[in-house]
Amino acid sequence: MYLNRRLNPYFKYGEADYFLARRGGRVVGRITAQINGRFNDYHKTRWGNFGFLQFEDDQQILEALLQAAAGWLQARNCERMVGPMDLVMNEESGVLIEGFELEPMILQPWHPPYYRQRCEQAGLTKAMDLYTWTQRIADRTRMDPLLPRLAERSRAKHGIKIRKMSRLHLRRELDEFAKVYNAAWSRNWDFVPYSKEDLDELALNLHLVYDRDFFMIAENDEETVAVAITVPDINQVLKKMRGHLLPLGWWYYLNRRRIIDRVRVGFLGVVPAYQHTGVAAALYVENFDVGERAGIKFGEMGWILETNTSMNRAIEAMGGRIVKRYRVYERLLEGAT
Protein backbone atom coordinates (compact mmCIF):
# COMPACT_ATOMS: atom_id res chain seq x y z
CA MET A 1 0.00 0.00 0.00
CA TYR A 2 2.85 2.41 0.81
CA LEU A 3 4.14 2.28 -2.78
CA ASN A 4 0.65 2.57 -4.28
CA ARG A 5 0.50 5.82 -6.22
CA ARG A 6 -3.22 6.26 -5.50
CA LEU A 7 -3.03 5.70 -1.75
CA ASN A 8 0.23 7.31 -0.61
CA PRO A 9 -0.05 11.13 -0.30
CA TYR A 10 3.61 11.40 -1.34
CA PHE A 11 2.50 11.02 -4.94
CA LYS A 12 0.45 14.20 -4.79
CA TYR A 13 3.73 16.15 -4.88
CA GLY A 14 6.37 13.53 -5.73
CA GLU A 15 7.12 10.94 -8.37
CA ALA A 16 9.02 7.67 -8.29
CA ASP A 17 9.95 4.60 -10.27
CA TYR A 18 10.95 1.13 -9.10
CA PHE A 19 13.79 -1.07 -10.35
CA LEU A 20 14.79 -4.71 -9.84
CA ALA A 21 18.14 -6.31 -10.62
CA ARG A 22 17.92 -9.86 -11.93
CA ARG A 23 20.56 -12.46 -12.58
CA GLY A 24 19.64 -15.74 -14.22
CA GLY A 25 15.97 -15.00 -13.72
CA ARG A 26 16.43 -14.44 -9.97
CA VAL A 27 15.94 -11.08 -8.23
CA VAL A 28 19.24 -10.05 -6.62
CA GLY A 29 18.58 -6.38 -5.79
CA ARG A 30 16.11 -3.52 -5.80
CA ILE A 31 16.06 0.29 -5.69
CA THR A 32 13.66 3.18 -6.13
CA ALA A 33 14.34 6.56 -7.70
CA GLN A 34 12.16 9.45 -6.59
CA ILE A 35 11.80 13.21 -6.70
CA ASN A 36 10.21 15.05 -3.79
CA GLY A 37 8.74 18.16 -5.37
CA ARG A 38 7.91 19.82 -2.05
CA PHE A 39 11.46 19.35 -0.79
CA ASN A 40 12.90 20.96 -3.92
CA ASP A 41 10.39 23.81 -3.82
CA TYR A 42 11.15 24.54 -0.16
CA HIS A 43 14.94 24.32 -0.43
CA LYS A 44 15.23 25.71 -3.99
CA THR A 45 17.13 22.61 -5.15
CA ARG A 46 16.97 20.03 -7.94
CA TRP A 47 17.68 16.95 -5.86
CA GLY A 48 16.55 13.42 -6.51
CA ASN A 49 16.57 10.51 -4.11
CA PHE A 50 16.95 6.76 -4.06
CA GLY A 51 15.57 4.30 -1.54
CA PHE A 52 14.29 0.81 -0.69
CA LEU A 53 17.85 -0.33 -1.35
CA GLN A 54 18.57 -4.04 -1.05
CA PHE A 55 21.22 -6.03 -2.87
CA GLU A 56 23.30 -9.17 -2.60
CA ASP A 57 26.98 -8.75 -1.79
CA ASP A 58 28.18 -8.05 -5.32
CA GLN A 59 29.55 -4.72 -6.53
CA GLN A 60 28.14 -5.19 -10.03
CA ILE A 61 24.61 -5.48 -8.67
CA LEU A 62 24.84 -2.22 -6.73
CA GLU A 63 26.47 -0.41 -9.65
CA ALA A 64 23.63 -1.49 -11.93
CA LEU A 65 20.97 -0.38 -9.45
CA LEU A 66 22.57 3.02 -8.89
CA GLN A 67 23.01 3.50 -12.62
CA ALA A 68 19.31 2.83 -13.21
CA ALA A 69 18.27 5.28 -10.48
CA ALA A 70 20.75 7.96 -11.59
CA GLY A 71 19.67 7.67 -15.21
CA TRP A 72 16.02 8.12 -14.29
CA LEU A 73 16.82 11.18 -12.18
CA GLN A 74 19.16 12.72 -14.79
CA ALA A 75 16.42 12.46 -17.40
CA ARG A 76 14.29 14.61 -15.08
CA ASN A 77 16.96 17.28 -14.68
CA CYS A 78 18.12 16.40 -11.16
CA GLU A 79 21.57 17.64 -10.20
CA ARG A 80 22.15 15.39 -7.18
CA MET A 81 21.07 11.93 -5.99
CA VAL A 82 20.67 11.52 -2.21
CA GLY A 83 19.73 8.42 -0.21
CA PRO A 84 18.79 5.86 0.69
CA MET A 85 15.44 6.95 2.05
CA ASP A 86 12.16 5.14 1.65
CA LEU A 87 10.53 7.98 -0.29
CA VAL A 88 10.99 10.49 2.56
CA MET A 89 13.50 10.96 5.38
CA ASN A 90 10.93 10.36 8.13
CA GLU A 91 10.59 6.77 6.99
CA GLU A 92 13.52 4.31 7.02
CA SER A 93 16.62 6.24 5.96
CA GLY A 94 20.36 5.80 5.68
CA VAL A 95 22.73 2.84 5.58
CA LEU A 96 23.64 1.36 8.95
CA ILE A 97 27.36 1.89 9.60
CA GLU A 98 27.53 1.26 13.38
CA GLY A 99 25.38 -0.87 15.68
CA PHE A 100 25.14 -4.04 13.59
CA GLU A 101 24.81 -6.19 16.73
CA LEU A 102 21.57 -4.45 17.80
CA GLU A 103 18.08 -5.31 16.61
CA PRO A 104 16.32 -2.60 14.62
CA MET A 105 13.43 -0.85 16.33
CA ILE A 106 10.25 0.18 14.59
CA LEU A 107 10.95 2.10 11.36
CA GLN A 108 14.70 1.53 11.60
CA PRO A 109 16.60 -0.19 8.79
CA TRP A 110 19.27 -2.83 9.35
CA HIS A 111 22.04 -3.63 6.88
CA PRO A 112 24.99 -6.00 6.93
CA PRO A 113 28.41 -4.30 7.00
CA TYR A 114 29.07 -4.86 3.30
CA TYR A 115 26.44 -2.23 2.38
CA ARG A 116 28.69 0.60 3.51
CA GLN A 117 31.72 -0.88 1.75
CA ARG A 118 29.85 -1.40 -1.52
CA CYS A 119 28.22 2.05 -1.45
CA GLU A 120 31.53 3.82 -0.95
CA GLN A 121 33.28 1.67 -3.57
CA ALA A 122 30.52 2.77 -5.95
CA GLY A 123 31.58 6.38 -5.45
CA LEU A 124 28.79 7.47 -3.14
CA THR A 125 29.99 10.05 -0.63
CA LYS A 126 28.68 11.04 2.76
CA ALA A 127 25.91 13.62 2.79
CA MET A 128 24.83 13.31 6.43
CA ASP A 129 25.10 10.92 9.37
CA LEU A 130 22.08 10.16 11.54
CA TYR A 131 22.54 9.27 15.21
CA THR A 132 20.47 6.97 17.37
CA TRP A 133 21.01 7.40 21.10
CA THR A 134 20.03 5.02 23.87
CA GLN A 135 19.12 5.64 27.47
CA ARG A 136 18.40 2.96 30.06
CA ILE A 137 15.76 3.76 32.66
CA ALA A 138 18.05 2.27 35.31
CA ASP A 139 20.71 4.84 34.38
CA ARG A 140 18.52 7.75 35.41
CA THR A 141 21.07 8.73 38.05
CA ARG A 142 23.41 9.73 35.21
CA MET A 143 21.02 12.47 34.18
CA ASP A 144 22.32 16.02 34.59
CA PRO A 145 20.69 17.23 37.85
CA LEU A 146 19.91 20.53 36.11
CA LEU A 147 17.24 18.90 33.91
CA PRO A 148 14.60 18.33 36.64
CA ARG A 149 15.09 21.93 37.78
CA LEU A 150 14.60 23.18 34.22
CA ALA A 151 11.48 21.05 33.94
CA GLU A 152 10.04 22.62 37.07
CA ARG A 153 10.99 26.09 35.79
CA SER A 154 8.93 25.52 32.63
CA ARG A 155 5.88 24.95 34.82
CA ALA A 156 6.42 27.56 37.54
CA LYS A 157 7.76 30.44 35.44
CA HIS A 158 6.20 29.85 32.03
CA GLY A 159 2.95 28.10 32.92
CA ILE A 160 3.61 25.13 30.67
CA LYS A 161 1.71 21.91 31.30
CA ILE A 162 2.07 18.49 29.70
CA ARG A 163 -1.01 16.60 28.64
CA LYS A 164 -1.49 13.35 26.71
CA MET A 165 -2.92 13.17 23.20
CA SER A 166 -6.41 11.75 22.83
CA ARG A 167 -6.77 8.67 20.65
CA LEU A 168 -10.31 9.68 19.76
CA HIS A 169 -9.08 13.07 18.53
CA LEU A 170 -5.65 11.96 17.33
CA ARG A 171 -6.04 13.48 13.88
CA ARG A 172 -6.84 16.87 15.45
CA GLU A 173 -3.91 16.49 17.85
CA LEU A 174 -1.63 15.99 14.87
CA ASP A 175 -2.57 19.44 13.59
CA GLU A 176 -0.93 20.78 16.76
CA PHE A 177 2.01 18.42 16.22
CA ALA A 178 2.44 19.82 12.71
CA LYS A 179 2.54 23.40 13.97
CA VAL A 180 5.45 22.48 16.23
CA TYR A 181 7.17 20.30 13.65
CA ASN A 182 6.93 22.86 10.87
CA ALA A 183 8.41 25.52 13.17
CA ALA A 184 10.99 23.52 15.13
CA TRP A 185 12.41 21.47 12.27
CA SER A 186 12.23 24.14 9.54
CA ARG A 187 15.98 24.75 9.41
CA ASN A 188 16.94 21.09 9.33
CA TRP A 189 18.84 19.72 6.37
CA ASP A 190 16.07 17.22 5.54
CA PHE A 191 13.00 19.33 6.33
CA VAL A 192 9.75 19.16 4.39
CA PRO A 193 6.62 20.69 5.98
CA TYR A 194 3.74 18.36 6.77
CA SER A 195 0.65 18.77 4.62
CA LYS A 196 -2.94 17.85 5.49
CA GLU A 197 -2.65 14.70 3.40
CA ASP A 198 0.58 13.72 5.17
CA LEU A 199 -1.12 14.13 8.54
CA ASP A 200 -4.10 12.05 7.45
CA GLU A 201 -1.72 9.20 6.59
CA LEU A 202 0.34 9.70 9.75
CA ALA A 203 -2.78 9.48 11.91
CA LEU A 204 -3.76 6.15 10.37
CA ASN A 205 -0.29 4.73 11.02
CA LEU A 206 0.02 6.08 14.56
CA HIS A 207 -3.29 4.53 15.56
CA LEU A 208 -1.58 1.14 15.15
CA VAL A 209 1.09 1.97 17.76
CA TYR A 210 -0.72 4.58 19.85
CA ASP A 211 0.10 4.64 23.54
CA ARG A 212 -1.59 7.44 25.45
CA ASP A 213 1.15 7.69 28.06
CA PHE A 214 3.84 8.35 25.46
CA PHE A 215 2.02 10.75 23.09
CA MET A 216 2.59 14.17 24.71
CA ILE A 217 1.74 17.80 24.09
CA ALA A 218 3.20 20.68 26.10
CA GLU A 219 1.09 23.82 26.17
CA ASN A 220 0.31 26.97 28.07
CA ASP A 221 -3.05 28.72 28.27
CA GLU A 222 -2.61 30.12 24.77
CA GLU A 223 -0.86 27.63 22.49
CA THR A 224 0.96 24.37 21.95
CA VAL A 225 4.68 24.90 22.47
CA ALA A 226 6.20 21.40 22.19
CA VAL A 227 5.40 17.78 21.35
CA ALA A 228 6.91 14.38 22.00
CA ILE A 229 5.80 11.14 20.36
CA THR A 230 7.39 7.98 21.71
CA VAL A 231 6.44 4.67 20.12
CA PRO A 232 6.55 1.29 21.89
CA ASP A 233 8.74 -1.03 19.84
CA ILE A 234 6.14 -3.23 18.15
CA ASN A 235 9.02 -5.09 16.44
CA GLN A 236 9.36 -7.13 19.64
CA VAL A 237 5.81 -8.40 19.13
CA LEU A 238 6.17 -8.95 15.39
CA LYS A 239 9.26 -11.06 16.04
CA LYS A 240 7.24 -13.39 18.24
CA MET A 241 4.35 -13.45 15.75
CA ARG A 242 6.73 -14.50 12.95
CA GLY A 243 4.47 -12.84 10.43
CA HIS A 244 1.35 -14.85 11.30
CA LEU A 245 -1.81 -14.18 13.29
CA LEU A 246 -2.37 -17.91 13.74
CA PRO A 247 -2.05 -19.96 15.78
CA LEU A 248 -0.67 -17.63 18.51
CA GLY A 249 0.15 -14.38 16.73
CA TRP A 250 -3.09 -12.74 17.84
CA TRP A 251 -2.32 -13.62 21.48
CA TYR A 252 1.08 -11.94 21.31
CA TYR A 253 -0.44 -8.80 19.80
CA LEU A 254 -3.21 -8.55 22.42
CA ASN A 255 -0.62 -9.01 25.18
CA ARG A 256 1.93 -6.63 23.67
CA ARG A 257 2.20 -4.55 26.86
CA ARG A 258 3.65 -7.58 28.63
CA ILE A 259 6.17 -8.15 25.84
CA ILE A 260 7.40 -4.68 24.93
CA ASP A 261 10.13 -3.33 27.20
CA ARG A 262 11.73 -0.77 24.91
CA VAL A 263 10.55 2.35 23.08
CA ARG A 264 11.67 4.66 20.34
CA VAL A 265 11.45 8.42 20.81
CA GLY A 266 10.56 9.41 17.27
CA PHE A 267 9.73 13.11 17.64
CA LEU A 268 10.56 15.65 20.31
CA GLY A 269 10.48 19.28 19.33
CA VAL A 270 9.89 22.75 20.72
CA VAL A 271 8.79 25.84 18.83
CA PRO A 272 11.68 28.36 18.64
CA ALA A 273 10.13 30.94 20.98
CA TYR A 274 10.04 28.40 23.83
CA GLN A 275 13.30 26.55 23.31
CA HIS A 276 14.92 28.16 26.37
CA THR A 277 12.05 27.69 28.81
CA GLY A 278 12.91 24.20 30.04
CA VAL A 279 9.96 22.56 28.29
CA ALA A 280 12.23 20.08 26.49
CA ALA A 281 13.61 18.99 29.86
CA ALA A 282 10.03 18.55 31.11
CA LEU A 283 9.28 16.21 28.20
CA TYR A 284 12.51 14.26 28.83
CA VAL A 285 11.64 13.81 32.50
CA GLU A 286 8.06 12.79 31.69
CA ASN A 287 9.33 10.14 29.30
CA PHE A 288 11.52 8.75 32.07
CA ASP A 289 8.62 8.76 34.54
CA VAL A 290 6.22 7.04 32.16
CA GLY A 291 8.82 4.50 31.11
CA GLU A 292 9.60 3.62 34.69
CA ARG A 293 5.91 3.05 35.51
CA ALA A 294 5.36 0.97 32.36
CA GLY A 295 8.27 -1.37 33.01
CA ILE A 296 10.29 -0.08 30.05
CA LYS A 297 13.97 -0.99 30.33
CA PHE A 298 15.39 1.42 27.79
CA GLY A 299 14.60 3.69 24.88
CA GLU A 300 16.29 4.81 21.71
CA MET A 301 16.11 8.41 20.54
CA GLY A 302 16.49 9.12 16.90
CA TRP A 303 17.39 9.37 14.36
CA ILE A 304 18.96 12.79 14.97
CA LEU A 305 21.04 14.70 12.44
CA GLU A 306 24.71 14.92 13.34
CA THR A 307 24.41 18.68 12.79
CA ASN A 308 21.61 19.05 15.38
CA THR A 309 24.03 20.14 18.10
CA SER A 310 21.45 21.29 20.64
CA MET A 311 19.47 18.06 20.60
CA ASN A 312 22.57 15.86 20.68
CA ARG A 313 23.94 17.81 23.65
CA ALA A 314 20.62 17.55 25.47
CA ILE A 315 20.49 13.77 25.10
CA GLU A 316 24.09 13.48 26.23
CA ALA A 317 23.14 15.52 29.31
CA MET A 318 20.50 12.89 30.08
CA GLY A 319 23.21 10.24 30.16
CA GLY A 320 22.51 8.93 26.66
CA ARG A 321 25.07 7.37 24.36
CA ILE A 322 25.15 6.85 20.61
CA VAL A 323 24.54 3.21 19.69
CA LYS A 324 23.66 3.36 15.99
CA ARG A 325 24.81 5.49 13.11
CA TYR A 326 23.19 5.65 9.72
CA ARG A 327 24.75 7.31 6.71
CA VAL A 328 22.88 9.11 3.95
CA TYR A 329 24.93 9.21 0.77
CA GLU A 330 24.97 11.45 -2.27
CA ARG A 331 26.27 11.55 -5.80
CA LEU A 332 26.43 14.52 -8.14
CA LEU A 333 24.69 13.87 -11.42
CA GLU A 334 26.31 15.01 -14.63
CA GLY A 335 24.63 15.76 -17.88
CA ALA A 336 21.17 16.51 -16.47
CA THR A 337 18.99 17.68 -19.32
Alpha helices in 90-195 (DSSP H): 114-121, 146-156, 170-184
What pLDDT is recorded for position 202? 93
CATH class of 135-327: alpha beta
| 152 CB neighbour count, 10 Å cutoff | 14
Q: Is the dihedral of CA 274, 278, 284, 287 positive or negative?
A: negative
What pLDDT is recorded for position 336? 53
Query: Boundaries of CATH 3.40.630.30 in the chain?
Result: 135-327
d(CA 40, CA 29): 28
| Amino acid of residue 192 | V
d(CA 276, CA 253): 41
What average pLDDT score do residues 20-38 get?
97
What pLDDT is recorded for position 100? 97
Q: For residue range 87-111, what is the model confidence (pLDDT) as tens digits? A: 999 999 999 999 999 999 999 999 9
d(CA 297, CA 233): 12
What pLDDT is recorded for position 335? 66
Q: Are the beta carbons of 316 and 143 closer than 8 angstroms?
A: no
> pTM, whole model, 2 decimals?
0.92
What pLDDT is recorded for position 318? 83
Phi–psi pair at 15, nearest 5 degrees: -135, 155
Q: Which residues contact 216 (CB under 8 A, 6 or more apart)?
A: 162, 163, 164, 165, 227, 228, 229, 230, 283, 286, 287
Q: Are the beta carbons of 14 and 34 closer than 8 angstroms?
A: yes
Options 2.50.20, 3.40.50, 3.40.630, 1.10.10; CATH for 9-128 is 3.40.630
Q: For residue range 121-170, what is the model confidence (pLDDT) as tens digits? A: 999 999 999 999 998 888 777 778 888 899 999 999 999 999 999 999 99
Q: For residue range 250-266, what is the model confidence (pLDDT) as tens digits? A: 888 888 888 999 999 98
Q: Which residues contact 256 (CB under 8 A, 6 or more apart)?
A: 232, 234, 236, 237
Share of the chain above pLDDT 70, in %: 99
- Which of 104, 102, 268 is closest to 94 using CA atoms? 104
99: left (phi over 0), alpha (psi -120 to 50) or beta: left
